[in-house]
Amino acid sequence: MKKQRRLSRLALLLSLLVSAITLRAQAQDQSRTASLDRVMDPVVIAGVKFPNVRTRPVAHLRLLAFRDGNAIPVPFQIDERTPAGEYVMTRPAGVRDRGDGLFDDNDELVFMALDAGKRGDPKAGGFPPAGWDEIELTDPLTGERAYAYLAFFASDPPSLSPVSYMQYRETPEYDELVTPYYTLRFPKNNVFIRDIMIHPAAGGNGQDFMDRIKMRLGVKVLAGYWSVGRTEENFVTKVLGVARGPVRVIRQTDTRLVILLNLKSPSAVVNGSFYPCSFQFPSMLSLPFRMDLVASDASIRQGWDLNRNALGMKFYTNLNPRPVTYDGKMDPEEVELANNPNTLYWALCTGPAGTFMFKGVWEESSPLQARLYYEDDLSRLEPPEEDPGVMGLAYQLENLLKMGTGRYPFNIINYVVPNFDGDVPRALRVFDHPLQVAINP
């Protein structure tokens, strides 16, 4: 009996190991056979760009790519938007917004660049579409091109691709998002991630290496010497809706900062957008009231505190070409990095838990100053937190009061870098050399 159990446990272990290896092989294989060597890049194109299939019924559209000379349906989605630009979503209690079912100018096609293939003629197959537009992707570094065809079928479109990259589920404790490369967990009704795991298929070890997202607001008041501190716990958030597809999930949240008791900032609606290798939170920054009239200085820090599973990770940014190491202590190089007053453009962090990077996107002509916050000190407690001590990396936005009554966009785009090979410029291609997208007439 005992022996049998041990044997079946061994079999289970073996099968887990085999499936892990297969996944990894698949991920590598995908990057090898894709006609473009760009595994991480999503492609998003508005309906207005498609002269031939614009205004066609979404249910009759397929994205085709050529594999061994045959046009086959590949994973894609069309996210419909209302005339006001709101995504059509499933709202709480299962209520669904209604789109008009047509591929309109501001609706969006979403797919992964690696699913594009060789150039071909969609009408050569057995079931030619009634019309199509050819999408041409060009890697600006190599000049390599790949193609996909958004095709309209008047009746009986071919089956959709069975592949879905994105899973999203809600449990009583958290909402969970799973892609082939990473898993994110959000505590229930929270806009902030609490856990991230990079899967072995992407070169991670599957362990959660995030303590929590930290948002720390510092305000100095003119009238006195005391300053008011606000943390992520002072934000009230709720999930307003979710749009799910095989390539992208959008999770719309409403966030307000509780300033004092019942005094809340205006609500900020954010469309958190998640793709197989990346996620982002495009936000609009504004002051909750004319704070510049009562305060002398304000800054906000927005980023990650890592937990002990991140020990040993190396950290690169545009400010330090030589990496520093998260080991719970600040060495002199790290102190220098933390005090660097220059603009932070990107950061990359790599270790046994996997590799991720991020980049801030904002208007450089805006009054915002975007600097690096870096701290590696497990002896400094900074509650609220789950894992005591700080291993932090964040955008530190300064000069907030100069915003006055203006509104300024700020976005942080995060990427998981699958099977990072130590080549930082190669990982940064997705930011520095984005794919060129053209629709051929």
Q: Which residues bind Ca ion (CB under 5 A)?
A: 80, 99-100, 102, 104, 107, 194-195, 208, 210-211, 305, 327, 376, 385, 387
> Which one, 41 or 334, has the nearer CB to Ca ion?
334
Residue ranges of E strands in 139-288: 145-152, 167-170, 174-178, 182-187, 195-198, 210-221, 227-230, 235-244, 249-260, 263-264, 268-274, 278-280, 283-285
Q: 245: how many CB neighbours lie within 10 A of its CB?
A: 18
> Which one, 38 or 214, has the nearer CB to Ca ion?
214
> Which one, 100 or 176, has the nearer CB to Ca ion?
100
In the complex, minimum distance from the CB of residue 235 to Ca ion, in angstroms, rounded to a whole number: 18
Helix (H, G, I), strand (E, B) or coil at 253: strand
For residue 16, the surrounding DSSP H or E stretch is helix 2-33
> Which one, 144 or 387, has the nearer CB to Ca ion?
387
292 token code pair: 């510049």
> Which one, 97 or 100, has the nearer CB to Ca ion?
100
342 token code pair: 């220059």
In the complex, minimum distance from the CB of residue 140 to Ca ion, in angstroms, rounded to a whole number: 32
Q: 425: how many CB neighbours lie within 10 A of its CB?
A: 9
In the complex, minimum distance from the CB of residue 64 to Ca ion, in angstroms, rounded to a whole number: 21
Residues 153 and 127: beta-carbon distance below 8 Å: yes
DSSP 352-392: TTEEEEEEEEE-TTSS-EEEEEEEEETTS--SS-SSSSEEE
> Which one, 56 or 359, has the nearer CB to Ca ion?
56
In the complex, minimum distance from the CB of residue 193 to Ca ion, in angstroms, rounded to a whole number: 8
In the complex, minimum distance from the CB of residue 416 to Ca ion, in angstroms, rounded to a whole number: 16
Q: List the one residue out of 231, 253, 379, 349 whose CA is nearest residue 301.
A: 231
CB-count burial class (<10 Å; 0-12, 13-18, 19+) for 69: exposed
> Which one, 121 or 331, has the nearer CB to Ca ion?
331
In the complex, minimum distance from the CB of residue 20 to Ca ion, in angstroms, rounded to a whole number: 22
In the complex, minimum distance from the CB of residue 194 to Ca ion, in angstroms, rounded to a whole number: 5
In the complex, minimum distance from the CB of residue 173 to Ca ion, in angstroms, rounded to a whole number: 13
- Report the distance separating Cα 145 and Cα 35, nearest Å: 7
44 token code pair: 């998003």
In the complex, minimum distance from the CB of residue 106 to Ca ion, in angstroms, rounded to a whole number: 8
In the complex, minimum distance from the CB of residue 38 to Ca ion, in angstroms, rounded to a whole number: 29
In the complex, minimum distance from the CB of residue 232 to Ca ion, in angstroms, rounded to a whole number: 12
Q: List the one residue out of 438, 439, 433 whose CA is nearest residue 41.
A: 433
> Which one, 124 or 381, has the nearer CB to Ca ion?
381
Contacts of 148 (CB under 8 A, 6+ apart): 63, 64, 65, 74, 111, 115, 116, 117, 135, 137
Q: For the sheet containing 210-221, what is the strand order? A: 227-230, 210-221, 295-306, 390-398, 369-377
Residues 272 and 256: beta-carbon distance below 8 Å: no
> Which one, 274 or 410, has the nearer CB to Ca ion?
274
Query: What are the residues facing 175 on neighbouring strands?
Result: 170, 186
In the complex, minimum distance from the CB of residue 277 to Ca ion, in angstroms, rounded to a whole number: 20
Q: List the one residue out of 400, 379, 406 whose CA is nearest residue 391.
A: 379
> Which one, 195 or 398, has the nearer CB to Ca ion?
195
Distance of CA 305 to the CA centre of its chain: 17
> Which one, 30 or 82, has the nearer CB to Ca ion?
82
